[in-house]
Structure 1
Amino acid sequence: MTTGTETPTTEAASAATPPKQRLSTAQMLHLMRLEMDRALRHGYPICALVVGLDGFDEVHHLPWRRALMPALFQELKAVTFQNDVRGLGVWTERFQLAIFPHVTPDRLLKLAEDLRARASSLKVANVPENEPFALSAGIAHNLHPGPMSFEALIQEAEAGMALAQSGGGNKTVQAREVERELDRLREEVDSQILEIQEFQSKLFADAGNTEELWGNQLISKVIELFKREPEKTEGVLRVEKEVIALLKAELAAWRESSTASRMIESQKTIDQLERRVAKLTESLGMTEAELQRVAQMKNIDLGLSSIYRSIQGLGGGEAGAEVKKEMLKNIFESNMALRAQLASLS
């Protein structure tokens, strides 16, 4: 891999690179730009790799960085040769930058992982062995749709390294893949919000009691809270997705339990009413049969007054007076029982 160094270099780096091959950082960046232009013009893949040290940000760490970065750059060169890859690269005290024409992102990802593995066991003079260090790397490429330039490629790789470091370090991140994941999560969250709003409108369409109104308002507040910030990190979107999914699940459970409980209560009421109606029908049938039999008796008025005062047709001299009295007694008792049953239904 052709190399370039920034002005503050170490003797080890100078000795490792013959003077005839050494280029300034500006010259190396110019060559990188030309290579990027060729890749865009001819349509072949090109990838960028930005590597940085995790930590070592204090002032007293500066001598260690100056010793570590050229040593790590030599490791990068060794890894590229082992993987049969050629590229252009520069290093500074803050990061290492390299571009690799005709290399796919998957292949560069393996190279970056190999570099991180080698770095974990690297021993460098003037760096205490009890000071462990790790690398974070960012990868970018030109295979995705949309406008692309050398600056955009480098910025995307730098963003990947920053994401890796902010996520705990010691990892490799493709920023474009993170953006795609964010876009996918945004779409999922938006889709879930629309779904839950439809669910909300159906569930609480006829909300009348206090509990249902409170649930309806809670859903609206949660959705409004999630819609407030358009720019969100991956972590925030994942939390939103989980919260909305949980809210949907709880609402579904509430709806099912509520509907089930209502159906059970309604069924109990229906069963009770059916039993009462059956009894009532039976009583009415019995009473009607009695009345029909009595009506067949001659000269009998079934008016209510005859029950409470003098009863027509039941004089002592009338034929069958005792039989008639017994029948009317049964009718009277049946009516009293029917009145009591009707009262219990009200």
Structure 2
Amino acid sequence: MGILNVTPDSFSDGGRYADLDAAVAHGVRLRAEGAHLVDVGGESTRPGADRVDAATEAARVLPVIRELAAAGVTASIDTTRARVAEEALAAGAAVVNDVSGGLADPDMARVVRDAGCPWVLMHWRGHSRGMRELATYTDVVVDVKTELAQRIDAALAAGVAADRIVIDPGLGFAKTAEHNWQLSARLPELLELGFPLLFASSRKSYLGLLLADADGRPRPTGGREAATAATSLLAVAAGAWGVRVHDVLGTVDALAVWRASGSPRLVAAPTAEPGRATEPARTTEPARTAEPARTTEPGRAAETGRTTEKGEDR
């Protein structure tokens, strides 16, 4: 999934694609580089971002989605609003990527159910301005898994088909850097829910902190691409369905190397002593994640193992 933010204030590329022609050209380029979906967002969800109204959001994304659809590019709509999602689907979007997991707008389930399209349910605890205060967990992986299960149950109860649901652990959304690393290391526990998982680490601040210079200054967003590719590859090796990224080509290249080496899986090695944590062991068992199939038909889920772009920090 390639990220296309048509916003003036997204954390790493705000304003670059606010112009319609520039946005469409970038979306077409992401597709040519290997993205199976281009994720179009019209409202920044980075921590502390101000909200925009539905009319402004729709005015940003709908022309881009129409042009991309006309060019044969399969788009997803990155929104928490049912109205925007419904209009985007009518304009040609194929997937709804909802960072609120349906919590921000109760009507979203109806829109997705009626459209029969895939719905990405992200783990979410609140809008951007308050998310830092909500990053409190007993065990972040267990808690995120429980809360995602609640969103899945709500979607199913609303009539959304099980095979339309994709989950996202929500790295960077009401999460500290340590929470993000724990979720990344324990993705198989989230996969126990039985749904495809979208992994979105691209350029996020926890990578910048990891790569800080000797004075403790975080690596700028433009210098986080290799770390993004590494975390994305590890997620696919652990069983992720898709990855959301800004740098599609670099991620596609990394995954090509992984496949050429036999698609080794990362699995937990048996523990020698009870209670001792183990490091992941490499195996040569082929990954069970299917390589994504391209699709331009709205409502069809793209199978993934390739790329997608998204941010925390969006």
Indicate the TM-score class for this superposition, using the shorter chain for normalisation.
Answer: under 0.3
Q: Could you say which structure has the higher helix fraction?
A: 1
Rg larger for: 1
